[in-house]
Structure 1
Amino acid sequence: MSEPTPHAETMESNAGRRWLLRVLDPGVLFPGLAVLTLTAVWLITFNLVDREYRTADRRLAALVSDMAQTYEAQAVRALREIDTTLKLVRYSLDARPPQEVLDELSRRDMLPPTLLFEVRISDAEGHGIASTHDLYSTRKTSRITEQSGLVVELEGEAATGADQSLVFSRRLAEEAQVSGTVSVIVNPAYFVSGYDMNTMGVQGVLALVGDGGISLVRRTGENVHTGEATEYERLLSDSSLVGEPAGLSVSEWDGLERYLVARALFEFPIAIVVGLSRAEQMAATNATRRAYYWRALLVSLISIAVLTLLGRLSRKLRLIQAKALEERLEHARRAEHLAFHDTLTGLPNRAHFSHLLTHGMQHAGRYDKRLALLFLDLDRFKAINDSLGHDAGDELLKEVSQRLIRSVRKSDRVARLGGDEFVVLLPEIEAADQINRVAEKILAAVSAPFLLAGQEFHITVSIGVAQYPSDGEDEQTLMKHADVAMYHAKEEGKNNAQFYSEELKSGSLERLTLEQSLRRALERKEFLLYYQSKVDMATGRIIGMEALLRWQHPELDLLLPHQFIPLAEENGLIVPIGRWVIYTACQQNVAWQQAGLPALSMAVNVSARQFLDDSLLRDIKGALATTGMSPQLLEVEITEGAMMVDMPRAVSVLQQLRKIGVRIAIDDFGTGFSALSRLQAFPLDTIKIDGSFIHDLPGSSADRSLADAIIDLGRCLGLTVVAEGVESAEQVDYLRRHSCDQVQGYYMHEPQPACDAVHAIQKNLISEP
């Protein structure tokens, strides 16, 4: 076979060159490039849109499944509490009247709160014979004719559910003195109060469905419905299994297509239903799709214009091509960086961190590792922003980000979520000590002084810690729990780190509503003081009054201290409330003296948090100075436990109160754990025997021994002994025989408003020999 001749090789080379020149001809090259560019833009656009839709579908399906698990747990917990109450009442009935049994259980706090629940006992005909609420003769409970388990039914006729109630009933035991049923009655809306408009929108569904084919309660947006007919079996058969993403189905209630999970509660004849409207939830995705199309169209027009211009400038084709390619690459790199990094600090942003956290959890789950998420929020950052301006605030954020990077390992990731919120991801954590060391380094680094605008400033940070998988197995849960722990760190005084625990979960809706009302109660002047007298055992004279706080709630009527004081302690409102109590009590004492009544001592209670607050001494001095009350007439009552929190500080505060001339009483004595040696260190004037030791006097030998011991202790220490909670003549006689100095309780006078307390004082003065 002959080899190719040089002439043949030349011809092949020329043909290839001609083909290349033809392809590079502007009339062929640029239209071809235009077609390829437009095709690429629209293929990428369609792919992005498709991916957005598929991602949104998966996210929503998983979200509904997670919400269903959460709602199922909440519903089961509430139903178990209700069923436990039914069983408790059922087996507590004895020879006593049913109402007496209910009253006793209520006093012992063994029944659910009456603000939300009614516990009712009905006879065999369904007529109520005992209840934690008022009984109405026309209101009947359905009869349970067979010995069955828990029965759930709706009571009332209103279709909207506004006047209907959910009734949970069990038949009374055969050995009970009465036959009939015990029921727990609650507003159906209680079971859908967790509906979150921000998450579920106005077309979501949160419902309980009975196995009888009736919707017990359904909430969609702001609307609550009850008593709707429902195909129970079909609803369950169309739903996904536990742990699987929710499926799409058309709701029989309103015909909307939803991601829906319906799950039967195996312990109860009830199923929970959770659903999100696909149309509503996909609105943002649709907007993103339109944005992609508009961008694609804009890019297409720009591409055509650019390619047309390049065609006219064919002599500069290669230069323009190279420049355009470089510009596109640079734009892509910059766009990618801006999309996943914070423009101010250069740290990964929320979107990028979400990817990092998800990847970290997947890696930890695959290799059975643990990771920790630290949620950071700067303390008092707003004050610096407001005082120095946003430029100084930005400089501070930049410096904080650098200090955070220097405080962690190279394998750890720091990100900024926005504002003054940062997060730190610690992968492959072996023990909690590792987390503590990192948190301590961060606290120390941030607390070091900053130089801003030529001045030195100090700032601190509060840290919340959540761990995977113990505190959450998905990104949303882990972030939420770390955020909850961070807010707990804020509540604990800031500049500290707190680990998440189940106890940190938010309270019930009732507690949240009460807290919101409590924040406005002081400015709305809803607090008032009741006064209870203290009687001298030797003379029978009223020698002092104790100021007792009450809250005249606009909706819940008069609330006693135990119903709101713990909440005020937690959120710090107890300090301004306590300040108001001290001032008002002193003012009332002076007013009584000006009205001609004798100078009586006035006792006020000081909570643990108020006692340790730096402003307590200033508040007491201010109240005495403003009202003109003699310090010797004011008696501050502090519990045993409050004084033991920080004993050196407590001794110092009490000594300063003694210098002012204020008397000091230790309240609820006997319920704490203070030793006699510690008690002697406190400058006290009075000890008050807790009412729990007085209640069974003189019948209980144990209570007699404790009361006698406290009276003897007070006598040995030279203190005035006051017995609280005295309710009978027998108790008064016993305390008089054993030399108790003073008594206080309902037997002498119940707590009264100021106007009624005046009459009690005047009556006591008239009755003196």
Structure 2
Amino acid sequence: MKKRLPKVLSILAWPIGCLILAIVMWSLLLARLNDREAEIGKNALQEAGVQSKSYAEQLARAVSQVDQITLHLKYYWTYTDGHLSVEDQQQQGLYPTSSLLYVTISDRDGKLLTSSLSLQKLTNVANRDYFLTHKNHAHSGLLISNPAIGIRSQRMLIRFSRRLDDAVGNFNGIVMVAVEPAFLAPSQDESALGKKDFIALFQPDGTPLLSRTMDALQTQETAFKSRPPLAGASGAMVMPGSTFDDGEERIVAWHAVRGYPLVAAVGVSTRDVYAAFRERASDYMFIASACSAFLAICAVVGMLFSMRLAIRKHETEKAREAYGIVTEGGADGFYMWLALRGKDGEIVDFQVLDCNERGAAIFGINKSELIGSHMSRFYSPEYFATLMRTFRSAMENGEYEDEFETPPESPLGASWLHRRMVRTRFGLAITVRDISESKTHELALLDQINTDELTGLPNRHWVLRYLNRLLHDAAGDGRGFAVLFADLDDFKNVNDTLGHSSGDLLLQAVTQRLRELVPAPHEVVRFGGDSFTVIQQGGSIDDAAQLADRILQAFSRPLMLSNQNILQVNLSIGISIFPRDGSSVDALLKHADTAMHAAKSEGKKRFRFYQPQLSERLQIKIENENALRLAIERDEFVLYFQPRVNAVSGEFCSMEALARWRHPVRGIVSPLEFIPVAEETGLILQLGELIIRKACAQLAQWRIAGLPLLPMSVNVSSRQLNQGNLNDIIASALAEYAITPAQLELELTESCMMADAIEVAEELASFRKLGIKLLVDDFGTGYSSLSQLQRLDLDVLKVDKAFTAELGVRAESEVLFNAMVSMAHALRMTVVAEGVETEAQLHLLQALHCDEVQGYYISHPVPAADIPPLMQRRYLFPAAPVTLD
């Protein structure tokens, strides 16, 4: 039953497939025809609207001409006191007889006084509707009457009339212009009208005035059964056949005549609109029907063909089962080879006794072609000689199994094969399996292990193996090579300020530039973090120096990151040479790393070759790091304090806590010596927490002693802000020593604000939520901007001492300082000038409206014991408090 199901499905595939094709074809055709029909209808509505509007504009001009005649007649009749002669005007050519237009004036009794028509058949119009309308209503406007037969002209006329009044406003007659319907008929070519089309003129209530069809111009007759619903100033719609006398469906568009109570309408037969489309649609339907019939024939033929194949396959399977060929359906290729021997009894070739289809497919031929063939037929003599060594080994040992990559000259249609050969009485029984996919996956995993995911460069794992092989080959050949260990300068600042995502983009940009600088066969490797290794094969020490110098010169230019940021990054490079600087991989890498650290310590942006004394310097650096770590553990740090005072009065208003290392042997160590080491090694996190707790403890002591509660600011590094869980540390210290948040202030460098804007804003907001003030330290030396200061909502701006030192030296310095003060005040920030050392600087800062000052002129940093006297003194200017006039 399971075997029959695929056969049934293969037979039914033809009718099902043809049915699906027919459904798709008809669906697409009908959808296209519907879309085209809708498009034609839309265009016809638009065209009818254009025609009705055009007719309305024509009518507006014609009626306006008639209206002007009535106005002129009324004016001149009044102006001449009733002595106007239309006959004279007609003789002067004002009213040509062929103009389809007639002019008449009657008195208050309806008697015709003057006319462009003959008055021989003198008549009276007193009983006419239009005369009575004017007589009974003080209607001063233009009156348009329904078409009627003229008594004198005996023609169908449409009359336009105006009332005449005497000097006191009483009815005094009418002036009338009568036109034949042809005067108002549309100017379009009658041949443009279809047999069922019309153009008509209506009054606003739907009363017909005239209508033009292909055959005739009619008055007061239209194709409508009743007055049409022509609502609005304009419109267009499809009206059913029940609306018209002839039962013909039409598209009707109408447009009001500007300034007059008339409506122009156009009717177009939908049968004519869609005639060409429906004829073409009929052709398409016929073609689709023919295609459907063809698909039906294909379905029948396909079913018969599939049934024939199924019957043949069934017979083949029965034959295979009878002969026991069980390897045919497997994934492995199977061969039975007969060993052919030469005169000396040595195997010289193999002949294929049997195989399965899979085995023949690996050779790219049919089974019938492969059976009986000699193996030497498929290989070049040189390559076959190599293969025969393997085949003879299998015959000698009884079996052989391996995995091998097929060379380009191999006829086998697979890149990797697993083969197993077993000796038989006649020769070899061989199974072959295509393992290309699994081998490719295996090689991809190996490549992943050896490749850095971020940069795509070989990684540390790869370079260790590569260097071992290179070192072995170089030692055997007596040649040397260089190991260049390159490390980015101050890369941690990028991660700390711009975030790790920007750091990743920078590493990718560095990779791209290194690849451009280092050609094959040299190798570029990402050794780890922000470190890269370049392996320069062969060459001399001068060659290594030239390569290193070329790299440094290239990185003197900024890098464009993929996020469009531009960064300037530099490298420090250490170089070790084989065999001069080591005979092992570990020694070469260690010495290159040591030389790199020497380059950094000498100012960065340079390269150094390894020298034995460099190891001693590195050892000293390691000792300094260990000493600093031990100093933190032993709490060898004390706080000094430098006051901040009011710039006008000199009143002691705040202070800055500064860390000092009290070394047991060296005494007090300046922060300029240990802070860089703490930043580089990450010990700044532990040191920063220690200083915060010491500051809170000191505030608590002064509070207990009854001293004034002055705020104290503590410096915070960018690494603390981004990695040190600073919020929790500060909250814990405040709670432990019962310090109010208003007493503690945080001084942030500008680099702190260069990190991810959202993360920084959230972190600073958490400090403000605690009630802690935030200060920008050393402002003007970094990269902060006005937008950052505004967004981060800081409290105090401390201007770097470099700007204070320039005051009084250059006029531009005062302008720049004043700009910073104005900017800070606009942001509601307090301005503190750092580095105030002279009275002249103080006076200039007062003139510039600086809020607070700090510097040696006020006080040097002093230990905690010297602060209480300063608090009691309160005003810290050297002389009396300075006041401004």
TM-score range, shorter chain: 0.3 to 0.5
TM-score (norm 1): 0.39
Highest CA radius of gyration, 1 or 2? 2
